[in-house]
Amino acid sequence: MRGLESRGSGQWRVAESGGLFQLHCPGQEGWILLSVPILRKNGATAGCRLVINGGDGADPGRVVPLPTPDGHTLRALVRLPSNAGGVALKLVGPGSVEIGAGHLRRVARPEVVLRLAGPDLRRLLARPWGLPFTTFKLLATFRQGGLRAVESSLINRAERRPADFSYAEWHRAFATLSVGDRDDILAAVASMRAPPRLSVLMPVHVAPDPWLVRAIGSVRNQLYPHWELCVVADASTNHQARRILDEAVSADPRIKIAFHERSGDISARSNAALRLATGDYITVLYPNDELTDHALYMVAAEVRSHPAVDVIYTDQDSMDAHGTLSDPFFKPDWNPDLLLSHNYMGHLCAFRRSRVLEAGGFREGFEGSHDHDLILRLTRGGTADTIRHVPFVLYHVRSDSTARDPAARTSAEDAAIRALQEHVGRGAQVEKAPLPATYRLRWPLPIPLPRVSLVIPTRDARELLEKCVESLLAKTSYPDLELLIVDNQSYDPDALAYLAALDRTGRARVLRYDRPFNFSALNNFAVRRTNGEIVGLLNNDLEVIEPGWLEEMVTQALRPQVGAVGARLLYPNQTVQHGGVILGIGGLAGHAHKHASACDGGYFSRAQVVHDVSAVTGACMVLRRSTYLEAGGLDEQLPMAFNDVDFCLRLRKAGLRNLGTPGATLIHHESRSRGPEDTRAKRLRLYRERKLMQARWREELSADPAYNPNLTLESEDFSLAWPPRVRRPWKIA
């Protein structure tokens, strides 16, 4: 016991730093039920923690928050890891406590599932209309991973664990191959006609010997046998590493090895390995990292399904020295502007070898970003048919080896900027973005500047409208714009007076729309009366906070392959309201990174960089006027909700890409002018609009290419899906 002073009769004084009671640990991995009578007195705080110490000395321990005591007794269901060496109850001080005799007992799996499911069952009894959805979700989870997956899903919901621990559970339930999976993959491989040959390149400079052994072993353990491993080590490779490589060559004829005279030049070593390769496709495995057992099979299966593919990339995670997995990176499908913002493709990437040779291989002078440079050259002019994403974690990055010294990081970023600048030519100016290894492209504005017409529908709400208009006119630096205010049956005298003043002074053109409210019709009515080459749809509850927002949106909208451009919108408390639309959230659509801090990088930097999205909000949307009219404008069958999503999906269907840019940030006082959906008529209208969208875009809403099927559709925070929505190719007949 530490941080405790006995007061007799089971009473203790907790120190400022808290008190620690050592508990008897039942030993072995598994679930325990903790029950401790505890009564706090004299201002003692209510916080309790369970500290689980690692038994091998390598694990400093895990701290599990505990619930507030139920009456006078603390009860908690906790799982002990396999290396649990001790369990202690930590009381957050200071203050006085009285503690009775407690105990720990082991709990069997059926009781665990029932206890974890209890809160969900109680919620269902209170809200029985949610039963069909919950039943469907549980059945889907069971089909994906059996009873263990159901248990893991309940654990995730009940414990709200940190992301890395939750991922370990998720990976065990949904990404670990069973014996049946392995048999099915072997059968699928045996049935392949003319299976593609895959060359794994391994440039070796410095790697701890055990990691080198594991990296080579991860290739030899592949369920797909049609591979070759091409290892090129530099002349400085130590004697032990050379022995490991020589033994690997002797053990497997599919392994080739050569030594390179120049030490430390990874591009040269990679090219030397490329010259050894004879496969149809090549990929790179670094000697610190590992492939999953089905990695090459998944690449081969994608080649078989899409013979025109030139580039294949997969999801990845991190692995520490003890083999613990964390930080899964679930990537979007082909996302050209995200690739310009940072190298999101990462690992595992496979390339058609003939294309790599035509491109000249890995270029020297781009070390640190040589892979980003190669990807940029191979994806130029590519499409979703030639650039494919496999949404499975197939590559483990050794997290202990990812840290770089500042000089190396700066050199790599400089190389990436040179590669990006060469890729875009004079079309844009590339510069470093605030987050590490991220970049911003500043596209030029033509001379003369195109006129921009900004459309703002409104009804009464003078205070909101005035804040919007005055901030826009005072703070927007773009010089050539016209402002159209669409008045939809305002009757408030103050609002009418303000509109009249705007019209009279020429600060804005006021259009009258004397029909029932229809957001789509209001904007279509106004856009047809605009004079600008570029149009912007704005809500009347926006507030401009930075001068260059419109320049950023216009430069993006002028790019011929781009459809709609959306800004980043913040709540007044400086958290994100809109960072691009994710399809399928809540059954239809949601806003990425909602409620995240404005300075938060978001999911692998996506909240702070330009990237392709399926849709953007109509609260602040900029695009070419001709594009708006050619697409038919907003659908007037959707008078209030989802008209922006529908419009963006029609643009995407026409071959255009929609972008979200944090380079344009505004404040959004969301929906204050029209209020919540709190009447029967509003709810009925919303229901009809949801049904129309789901009927029209059912396939698109179920698979957003700018998202990932391993991420949840229940929230907007990029957390894990339980279960994932992926199809295993070896399970498809």
CATH code where residue 9 lies: 2.60.120
336/401 same-domain check: yes
What torsion do the CA atoms of 548, 554, 555, 556 make, to the nearest 10 degrees? 110
Closest CA to 74 of 63, 87, 90: 90
Task: Kindly report whether the peptide bond that precedes residue 547 is cis, defined as omega within 30 degrees of 0.
Answer: no
Closest CA to 704 of 325, 154, 178, 335: 335
Does residue 128 lie in a domain region? yes
pLDDT at residue 697, as a whole number: 94
Tell me how crowded residue 75 is: count the other CB atoms within 10 A of its CB. 15
582/481 same-domain check: yes
Closest CA to 333 of 113, 538, 611: 611
pLDDT at residue 161, as a whole number: 43
408/459 same-domain check: no
166/252 same-domain check: no
Residue type, 16: E
Beta bridge partner(s), residue 65: 49
* Per-residue pLDDT reduced to its tens digit, 554-579: 999 999 999 999 999 999 988 999 99
Does residue 497 lie in a domain region? yes
Provide the strand spans (E) within 92-164. Answer: 95-99, 103-107
Last residue in a domain, options 55, 82, 107: 107
pLDDT at residue 321, as a whole number: 83
Does residue 333 lie in a domain region? yes
621/685 same-domain check: yes
pLDDT at residue 208, as a whole number: 75
Provide the pairing of β-strand 95-99 with 30-41.
antiparallel
How far CA 141 is from CA of 60, 150, 261, in Å, comes to 33, 6, 53
Contact of 20 with 3, CB cutoff 8 Å? yes
Last residue in a domain, options 59, 79, 107: 107
pLDDT at residue 22, as a whole number: 66
pLDDT at residue 320, as a whole number: 86
Quickly count helices (H) and strands (E) in the chain.
20, 33
pLDDT at residue 624, as a whole number: 97
CATH of the domain at 265: 3.90.550.10
77/159 same-domain check: no
Does residue 180 lie in a domain region? no
Does residue 129 lie in a domain region? yes
pLDDT at residue 265, as a whole number: 81
pLDDT at residue 372, as a whole number: 96
Own/partner contacts of 425-433, CB < 8 Å, gap of 24 or more, are: 433/341, 433/608, 433/609
Contact of 613 with 580, CB cutoff 8 Å? yes
Does residue 370 lie in a domain region? yes
Does residue 211 lie in a domain region? yes
Contact of 390 with 299, CB cutoff 8 Å? yes
Task: Kindly report whether the peptide bond that precedes residue 307 is cis, defined as omega within 30 degrees of 0.
Answer: no
133/268 same-domain check: no
* Block residue for tokens 């990874």: 266
Contact of 556 with 661, CB cutoff 8 Å? yes
Per-residue DSSP letter, 235: T
407/510 same-domain check: no
pLDDT at residue 272, as a whole number: 92
223/151 same-domain check: no
237/343 same-domain check: yes
Last residue in a domain, options 175, 208, 228: 175
Domain span including residue 313: 192-432
Residue 716: partners with Cβ closer than 8 Å, 6 or more residues away: 582, 585, 590, 591, 592, 593, 594, 595
* Structure token digits, residue 648: 């963006």
pLDDT at residue 554, as a whole number: 98
Residue type, 601: G
207/290 same-domain check: yes
CA-to-CA distance for 204 and 377, rounded, in angstroms? 24
514/644 same-domain check: yes
pLDDT at residue 658, as a whole number: 98
Segments in the chain below pLDDT 50? 1, 16-17, 41-46, 55-61, 68-71, 160-165, 402, 733
Question: How many structural domains are present in the chain?
Answer: 4
Residue type, 553: M
Contact of 35 with 107, CB cutoff 8 Å? no
First to last CA, the chain: 61
Does residue 515 lie in a domain region? yes
CA-to-CA distance for 217 and 596, rounded, in angstroms? 41
Query: What secondary structure does DSSP assign to 561-622, as a single string?
Result: TEEEEEEEEE-TTSBEEES-EEETGGGTEEETTTT-BTT---GGGGGGS-EEESB--TTEEE
